[in-house]
């Protein structure tokens, strides 16, 4: 199968490397014939073109791999490729979360495949796992650590007693976090992944404006220590729950007992859990980002196309209304400046700095935090997952 790659950055060049260098039976018949990017000195691939029509207009190219990121022109290129009868594989979570229904409809119309495993959980076969579980069970809940950069930050703060800013700068130097880290630490990245996972799990497009999203930008060293004294570890979690015709979702810090699996996921790893009626809980763990793991997920999608694996059977026609039903306890730090000596670690969760709510709904929590409107507010859910 002849393939074109759009974008020759970290992920695009990783896909090229795997297809060129790994000679497994499944990859054997794949051939990258064009790469869309700006030619530059570093990058002397002969197959590079800066004219997208060299690819869209070439009827021998059966599969387009989009790794450019961002909404435009990715949206236009994906749409045109599908409309021209080419399979599309993408790692671009923003454009998929925004246009998944349109892309799936277009792919169905032109009898081609639209696959996006690499958007969510990097190299982890998470969307494939969800889709497979759904064949037998109906899936009503999933949750997990969906963002490697924020996990790296929280893990380093916990293990090495560093401040948020110290660790953030280090992740930027390492290339994990962008110069503008907002997507990772304010939750937009996880919001996109919740929308994409919900599409596969629930066959429904949920609206990320509906559900609660609290970032971890305000977390302090003292917060980590405070929860540590109570045997909790802070992790940044996305989750969604479906009940009949309604759903709710959360993106926020969660406090896990130190001996729960999620509490012990280190570095930039991801772990994601689904629940099914007969399967109970299934967890998938691995590299949630990075050049080769993400490229691996893309190549897996290409191999699915090449080996004629059955297409995802979803129409995205289930309509779910947002409704806050789950009751949870939350801990809010509502003082801006912490004098560490004043924290009373012996109190369960009532303190000059910290307030532990009763079991309340997301709407009640939203109302409380809206009233507080503190710039430095930090909100944590007490994790209470089944398994």
167 versus 263: smaller Cβ distance to a second copy: 263
Binder of a second copy out of 85, 277, 372, 384 (CB under 8 A): 277
Cβ at position 294, least distance to a second copy in Å: 10
Cβ at position 332, least distance to a second copy in Å: 27
By CB under 8 A, residue 263 contacts a second copy = yes
Please enumerate in sequence order all residues whose Cβ is within 8 A of that of 215, keeping only pairs 6 or more positions apart, or say none: 185, 186, 187
Alpha carbon distance 134, 259 (integer Å): 29
By CB under 8 A, residue 293 contacts a second copy = yes
Instruction: Give the binding range for a second copy (CB under 8 A) out of 69-77, 88-96, 272-280, 321-329.
Output: 272-280
Place of tokens 């930008």: 217
By CB under 8 A, residue 288 contacts a second copy = no
By CB under 8 A, residue 310 contacts a second copy = yes
CA dihedral 319, 81, 109, 301 (to 10 degrees): -70
Q: What is the DSSP string of 56-89?
A: HT-TT--EEEE---SSTTHHHHHHHHHHTT-EEE
Question: Beta-carbon neighbour count of residue 260 at 10 Å?
Answer: 17
By CB under 8 A, residue 237 contacts a second copy = no
Cβ at position 282, least distance to a second copy in Å: 4
Q: Which residues pair with 287 in a beta bridge?
A: 269
Residues 113-142 that bind a second copy (CB under 8 A): 123-125, 128-129, 132, 134-138
- Lookup: tokens for 135: 């064949």
277 versus 327: smaller Cβ distance to a second copy: 277
How many residues bind to a second copy according to rule CB under 8 A? 53
Binder of a second copy out of 112, 295, 324, 383 (CB under 8 A): 295
Please enumerate in sequence order all residues whose Cβ is within 8 A of that of 102, keeping only pairs 6 or more positions apart, or say none: 79
By CB under 8 A, residue 185 contacts a second copy = no
Binder of a second copy out of 283, 335, 356, 366 (CB under 8 A): 283
Residues 14-53 that bind a second copy (CB under 8 A): 14, 18, 22, 24-27
Q: Which of 64, 14, 59 is nearest to 36 (CA)?
A: 64
By CB under 8 A, residue 307 contacts a second copy = yes
Helix, strand and coil percent figures for the chain, each rounded to 5:
35, 25, 40
Binder of a second copy out of 285, 312, 353, 354 (CB under 8 A): 285
Q: Are strands 246-257 and 212-213 parallel, antiparallel or unpaired?
A: parallel
Q: How many helices (H) and strands (E) does the chain have?
A: 12, 16
Alpha carbon distance 118, 14 (integer Å): 12
Cβ at position 58, least distance to a second copy in Å: 25
22 versus 345: smaller Cβ distance to a second copy: 22
- Tell me which of 86, 193, 230, 242 is the catalytic residue: 193
Alpha carbon distance 74, 87 (integer Å): 15
By CB under 8 A, residue 286 contacts a second copy = yes
HSE toward the beta carbon, residue 40, CA cutoff 13 A: 7
Annotated catalytic, 358?
no
Binder of a second copy out of 308, 337, 373, 375 (CB under 8 A): 308
Q: Are 309 and 334 in contact (CB under 8 A)?
A: no
The residues binding a second copy (CB under 8 A) are 14, 18, 22, 24-27, 123-125, 128-129, 132, 134-138, 259-261, 263-266, 269, 271, 276-287, 290, 292-293, 295-296, 299-300, 303, 307-310, 313, 387
- Which residues are known catalytic residues? 193
């Amino acid at each position: 199968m002849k393939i074109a790659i759009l974008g020759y950055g970290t992920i695009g060049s990783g896909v090229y490397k795997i297809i060129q260098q790994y000679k497994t039976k499944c990859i054997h018949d794949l051939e990258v014939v064009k790469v869309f990017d700006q030619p530059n000195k570093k990058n002397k691939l002969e197959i590079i073109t800066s004219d997208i029509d060299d690819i869209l207009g070439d009827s021998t190219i059966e599969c387009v791999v989009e790794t450019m990121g961002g909404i435009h022109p990715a949206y236009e290129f994906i749409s045109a490729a599908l409309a021209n009868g080419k399979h599309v594989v993408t790692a671009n979570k923003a454009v998929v979360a925004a246009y998944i229904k349109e892309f799936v409809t277009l792919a169905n119309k032109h009898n081609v495949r639209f696959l996006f495993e690499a958007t969510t959980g990097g190299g982890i076969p998470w969307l494939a796992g969800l889709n497979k579980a759904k064949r037998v069970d109906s899936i009503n809940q999933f949750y997990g650590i969906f963002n490697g950069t924020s996990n790296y930050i929280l893990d380093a703060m916990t293990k090495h007693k560093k401040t948020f800013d110290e660790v953030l700068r280090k992740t930027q130097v390492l290339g994990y976090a962008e110069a503008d880290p907002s997507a990772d630490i304010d939750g937009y990245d996880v919001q996109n992944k919740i929308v994409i996972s919900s599409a596969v799990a629930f066959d429904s497009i949920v609206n990320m404006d509906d559900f609660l999203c609290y970032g971890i930008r305000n977390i302090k060293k003292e917060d980590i220590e405070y929860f540590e004294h109570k045997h909790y570890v802070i992790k940044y979690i996305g989750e969604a729950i479906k009940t009949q015709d309604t759903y709710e979702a959360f993106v926020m810090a969660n406090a896990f007992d130190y001996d729960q699996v999620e509490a012990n996921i280190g570095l930039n790893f991801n772990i994601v859990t689904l629940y099914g009626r007969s399967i109970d809980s299934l967890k998938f763990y691995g590299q949630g980002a990075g050049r080769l793991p993400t490229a691996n997920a893309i190549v897996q999608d290409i191999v699915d196309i090449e080996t004629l694996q059955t297409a995802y059977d979803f129409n995205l026609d289930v309509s779910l209304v947002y409704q806050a039903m789950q009751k949870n306890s939350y801990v809010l730090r509502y003082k801006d400046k912490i004098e560490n000596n004043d924290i009373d670690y012996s109190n369960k969760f009532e303190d000059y700095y910290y307030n532990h709510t009763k079991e309340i709904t997301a709407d009640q929590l939203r109302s409380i935090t809206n009233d507080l409107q503190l710039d430095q507010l930090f909100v944590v859910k007490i994790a209470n997952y089944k398994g």
